[in-house]
Amino acid sequence: MEHIIGFLGGGNMAGAMIGGLLKTTDPARIRVADRHPEKLEHFAEAGVRTYEGPGDWVTECTLLVLAVKPQNMKEAVEPYVPFLNPEGCALSIAAGIEASALSAWLGGYRVLRAMPNTPALVGCGMTGFWAPEGTPDEMLAAALAVLKASGDVVRVPDENGIDLVGAIPGSGPAYVFRFMEALEAAGLKRGLDPKAARSLALGTVYGAAMLARSSDEPFSRLREKVTSKGGTTAKALEVMNARDVDGMMDEAIEAALKRTAEMKALFR
């Protein structure tokens, strides 16, 4: 079955997902709606059918991706309820709104959840995916095809796993960028020009990630391979370990999870 895939919201993440889909999918099978017509122009130029609101086009969609900011979600989805395809389902990529709340807003419609991250914009996304028990195989396949179009996907066994995905790969690019800022700042402080400092920080993180991706070895073993006993790397790591990097990261993840819990409570 060739699914018709609709997107409610035409922002950056929807754009990344649609961009990935267009590499393998006929644009005539993709629909996107956004109340801001300027966001729709580049989709229309690519052959995607665009709309500024609900209509019969929604009924054609067997998978409707909810790509709206959490604070605007309830108001955005309610006008679409009369048009939902009874054989389809919704796929939410919004943080902090449980499937039960979304389903209630959608009149009891089946809801799947995913948490992508911003590297999806360059085809390198890391997405967590959850589907309730009993979801038809066809719906699972359609959702996974959409998500895999912009990167890798990991299925989580229960909906709470989506919260952890949000705290690690969802927010994770910001953690990595913060580390890159620190590397860049250390170089600038010691006389590097801005272009060189940026290039060295970026190349370090990119190269390390690519090396780790090409290897089955644990991260700890890869670290050990770079670290000569008594050498410069060992001395630098002594400083980092003294600052309890593991503890800091654990606290950061816990803070993100706490905020997610607060958001979930607001939307119940």
User: What pLDDT, in 10s, does the model give residues 57-112?
Assistant: 999 999 999 999 999 999 999 999 999 999 999 999 999 999 999 999 999 999 99
pLDDT of residue 255: 97
120 and 25 share a domain? yes
Residue 166, in any domain of the structure: no
User: What pLDDT, in 10s, does the model give residues 131-154?
Assistant: 999 999 999 999 999 999 999 999
Residue 94, in any domain of the structure: yes
Handedness of CA 167, 170, 176, 177 (dihedral sign): negative
Q: How far apart are CA 232 and CA 228, in angstroms?
A: 8
Residue 163, in any domain of the structure: no
Residue 165, in any domain of the structure: no
User: What pLDDT, in 10s, does the model give residues 199-257?
Assistant: 999 999 999 999 999 999 999 999 999 999 999 999 999 999 999 999 999 999 999 99
pLDDT of residue 1: 55
Q: Known binding site: residues?
A: 8-13, 67-70
pTM of the model: 0.91
81 and 27 share a domain? yes
Q: How far apart are CA 224 and CA 98, in angstroms?
A: 41
98 and 123 share a domain? yes
CATH number at residue 199: 1.10.3730.10
pLDDT, average across residues 24-50: 94
Count of domains for the chain? 2
pLDDT of residue 2: 78
Residue 202, in any domain of the structure: yes
pLDDT, average across residues 163-167: 95
Q: How far apart are CA 135 and CA 143, in angstroms?
A: 11
pLDDT, average across residues 3-30: 93
pLDDT at 165 over 70: yes
- Give me the chain's average pLDDT, please: 95
pLDDT at 39 over 80: yes
Burial label for 117, CB within 10 Å (0-12, 13-18, 19+), is: buried
71 and 179 share a domain? no
Residue 167, in any domain of the structure: no
pLDDT, average across residues 17-32: 93
In the numeric block, which tokens belong to residue 90?
A: 């919704």
In the numeric block, which tokens belong to residue 21?
A: 């889909």
150 and 180 share a domain? no
Domain that holds residue 225: 172-264
Q: Which helix (H) or strand (E) holds 148?
A: helix 137-148
pLDDT of residue 122: 92
98 and 204 share a domain? no
Q: How far apart are CA 106 and CA 249, in angstroms?
A: 37
pLDDT of residue 268: 81
135 and 30 share a domain? yes
Beta-bridge mates of residue 125:
151
115 and 195 share a domain? no
CATH number at residue 78: 3.40.50.720
pLDDT, average across residues 24-53: 94
Q: Known binding site for NADP(+): residues?
A: 8-13, 67-70
